[in-house]
Amino acid sequence: MRELRSLCLVVLLCSAVFAQLPTSTLNGTVTDPQGAAVSNAKVILTSLATRIVRETTSNAQGLYTFANVAPGDYTVDVESPTFAKAEVKNVRLEVGHASTLDVKLTPAKVGEVVTVQASEAQVDSTQSEVQGLVTAPTIENIPLNGRNFLELAYLIPGSRPATNFDPTKTNTLEVSAGAFGRGGNISVDGGDNNDEVVGGTLMNFPEDSIQEFQIATNKFTAEVGRSGSSIINIITKSGTNDYHGSGFIFFRHKALQALPALNRNQPAPHFVREQFGGSVGGPIKRDRAWWFVSSEYRNQGHAVPVGLRDLVTDSVVSSSAPAFLHDYLLSARTDFKLSGKDNLAVRYSFNRSRDIDNGSLRRPLGTAADRQSSFNRFSSPLVNWTRIISSSVVNSLIFHGDWFLNSIPAFSPDNPVTNPPGLAPGNEVRFPSLQDGANFRIPQSTKFNRFQIRDTLSWVTGNHTLRLGGEWQHLNTYALFDLFGSGSIFTTEDFATRDRNGDGLVNDLDIPIAVAIKSAAPSRPPIVPFYPNSYFGAYVQDDWKVRSNLTLNLGLRWEFDDVVGDASNLRPCASLSSPDDTCDFIENILGTHEGRDFKQFAPRIGFAWGSGSRRKEQ
């Protein structure tokens, strides 16, 4: 028994804490003028936007807690016999954040109300996580070139742009919050927004549809997992009892801008951007149902940097080649107060884009023939049902789906101008300073779908706020990837330096070849057929308020993921009628051994302490 106790102590002390998903928590202590706890005080939380009301009572220690609360602005009323009613206005609850609001009651006449502002009383002494928040005013007021809201993450210390080498989404932004950008977990309204094929962000959203988002880089709650670095927790806007809308149009043209600083000797590259859209929302029925929709479209004609071999001067010249981007974004949401205890949120988001971009985002620079054309389509529905079982027990059930399709067809036609004489049509030639000819990694295609169910039960008992729940995901993925299908030749020089073949001429036929690569796959590109992958996670989180200014954040999470087993059991060439030596080579690399399921058990502990000082705004 002593050994078991010691093991449990070690498990607790080796843990870390974590940030909750798309809701907020409000807690605090109700006291009298002498600082003594006031029990059985009635605490009422009212949304300023929708007039949705939550009620609870303080316990014997004067503590109260509202868990699973939608982020937004609220009013808090506290009532107790023999004391004046206290009204705290403009209480701001933020996504993934637990706020502490202590209320001191004062004796007064019956019917008297004492009103204070939340900034006078609201502090942060409940969470130990390291986080930053981008609020709605920041999203609305800071201009963004291109209107990708995730760029605002760079305002948070420790966040920076991450390398994006994903050819399927060249316009996607990746955020690194202290670690590798693709190792984080991104969620929108509690539903995953991760690309499970190549990692990173899956889908973009209209900027006007985003209410706020949180980035937690350390000590996030056991409710979230599947992250080796950070959590990006995004919530979308919903309608209110008042009608609100916005509209915008942005226009850029090369005639209105200067030449690039390093390209003075070249003509101004073509550029024109038309980006327009807006949002509108309001009540379907006041205090009962609301709607909100946001949409935007970007029509952009531009040029991408390319290189050109100048055979007269034997130099690689920087130039540009035509490109375009057509990007449409839509997000629509409805919220319903089904009863005094049931609330339902339904959201659908859509993203469609077509573009031409550089075939490779890495060095060396490519030529115009090395570009690629890409098509993307995303669809994402989400349903969130919240049930208030009692004043101390709340349950939230989320269903979420993702459907993603990408296609990158062969781009460059057979062109003898971009291929030295004597080479097969369509080959790629990789000079030390330039990639010329057909891109080595196209055509390719990706299909991906996800079904996700997440349930969280919040239970306030005594000084403990417990969260128990689980998450299940089922994924299907398909990929076509013609790596070196057209053949690539790597040379040692950009231009010939002497007559090596003795034909009396110094030309490209005299350039030494370092290596030539040609896929030995069958005539059609290799494919990874659809295979299923299931993920399951279960957790328990306890925020134990030991004292009014000391909280212990304790959590346990267990995860099971069978992707390793399914992937290792997959024979890449099983679908081919006549496997060849390449198939054997691939299987020797991947292995055909028995699959192993991935499991992890993650205990977490932390503490938060506050001295009662006012919270600093982000």
Q: Chain-centre distance of CA 110, in angstroms?
A: 51
From 106, 95, 38, 41, select the one nearest 68 (Cα to Cα).
95
**Is pLDDT at 16 greater than 70 in this prediction?**
no
pLDDT of residue 353: 94
Highest mean pLDDT of the ranges 229-233, 445-449, 606-610: 445-449
Least confident of 96-110, 289-303, 416-430: 416-430
Instruction: Give 451 or 578, the one with higher predicted confidence.
Output: 451
**Is pLDDT at 267 greater than 60 in this prediction?**
yes
Tell me what percent of the residues of the chain surpass a pLDDT of 70. Answer: 77
Q: Which helix (H) or strand (E) holds 207?
A: none
The C-alpha atoms of residue 291 and residue 333 are separated, in whole angstroms, by 6
Non-local CB neighbours of 584 within 8 Å, separated by 6+ positions: none
Q: Which helix (H) or strand (E) holds 387?
A: strand 372-390
The C-alpha atoms of residue 325 and residue 299 are separated, in whole angstroms, by 6
pLDDT of residue 369: 83
**Is pLDDT at 255 greater than 50 in this prediction?**
yes
The C-alpha atoms of residue 473 and residue 367 are separated, in whole angstroms, by 42
* CATH architecture of the domain formed by 130-236: Beta Complex (2.170)
- pTM of the predicted model as reported, rounded to 2 decimal places: 0.82
The tokens for 446 are 């990706």
CA distances from 188 to 279, 341, 388, 400 (A): 18, 24, 22, 10
Q: Chain-centre distance of CA 388, in angstroms?
A: 29
From 56, 137, 59, select the one nearest 92 (Cα to Cα).
137
Q: Chain-centre distance of CA 335, in angstroms?
A: 23
Provide mean pLDDT across the span 456-472: 90
> In the structure, what pLDDT confidence band is assigned to residue 413 with cuts at 50, 70 and 90?
low
Which numeric CATH code is attached to 15-118?
2.60.40.1120
pLDDT of residue 361: 67
Tell me the backbone φ, ψ of residue 303, rounded to 5 degrees.
-130, 145
From 109, 149, 171, 155, select the one nearest 618 (Cα to Cα).
155
Average pLDDT of the residues of the chain = 79
Q: Chain-centre distance of CA 550, in angstroms?
A: 32
> In the structure, what pLDDT confidence band is assigned to residue 478 with cuts at 50, 70 and 90?
confident
Contact between 511 and 492 (Cβ < 8 Å):
yes
pLDDT of residue 159: 77
**Is pLDDT at 569 greater than 50 in this prediction?**
no
Q: Vertex 415, ends 410 and 416: CA angle to 5°?
A: 145
> Given the structure tokens 């350390």, which residue do they identify?
218
pLDDT of residue 97: 82
pLDDT of residue 565: 45
Strand partners, 324: 301
Contact between 194 and 172 (Cβ < 8 Å):
no
pLDDT of residue 495: 92
User: Quick count: other Cβ atoms within 10 Å of Cβ 409?
Assistant: 12
Least confident of 177-181, 281-285, 597-601: 597-601
Provide mean pLDDT across the span 262-281: 81
The C-alpha atoms of residue 345 and residue 332 are separated, in whole angstroms, by 11
pLDDT of residue 365: 86
State the distance between the two ends of the chain, measured CA to CA, in whole angstroms: 47
Q: What is the pLDDT of residues 34-49, one digit of tens each?
A: 889 999 999 999 999 9
The C-alpha atoms of residue 9 and residue 438 are separated, in whole angstroms, by 60
The tokens for 88 are 């705290």
**Is pLDDT at 576 greater than 60 in this prediction?**
no
> In the structure, what pLDDT confidence band is assigned to residue 183 with cuts at 50, 70 and 90?
low
Q: What is the pLDDT of residues 313-350, one digit of tens each?
A: 899 988 888 899 999 999 999 999 999 899 999 999 99
Q: What is the pLDDT of residues 61-70, one digit of tens each?
A: 899 999 889 9
Side chain identity, residue 541? Q
**Is pLDDT at 417 greater than 60 in this prediction?**
no
pLDDT of residue 618: 33
**Is pLDDT at 4 greater than 60 in this prediction?**
no
On the question of a cis peptide bond just before residue 364, with omega within 30 degrees of 0, the verdict is yes
Provide mean pLDDT across the span 364-381: 89
In the chain, where are the structural domains located? 15-118, 130-236
DSSP 262-299: T-TTSPPPP-EEEEEEEEEEEEEETTTEEEEEEEEEEE
Q: What is the pLDDT of residues 506-565, one digit of tens each?
A: 888 889 989 888 887 766 677 777 778 888 989 998 988 887 778 888 888 888 887 644
Instruction: Give 173 or 71, the one with higher predicted confidence.
Output: 71
Torsional class of 575: left (φ above 0), alpha (ψ -120 to 50), beta (otherwise): alpha
Q: Can 15-118 and 130-236 be said to share one CATH topology?
A: no
On the question of a cis peptide bond just before residue 267, with omega within 30 degrees of 0, the verdict is no
SS3 letters for 487-511? CEEEECCCCCCCCCCCCCCCCHHHC
> Given the structure tokens 């071999």, which residue do they identify?
309
pLDDT of residue 150: 86
CA distances from 402 to 25, 199, 232, 233, 516 (A): 28, 15, 18, 17, 40
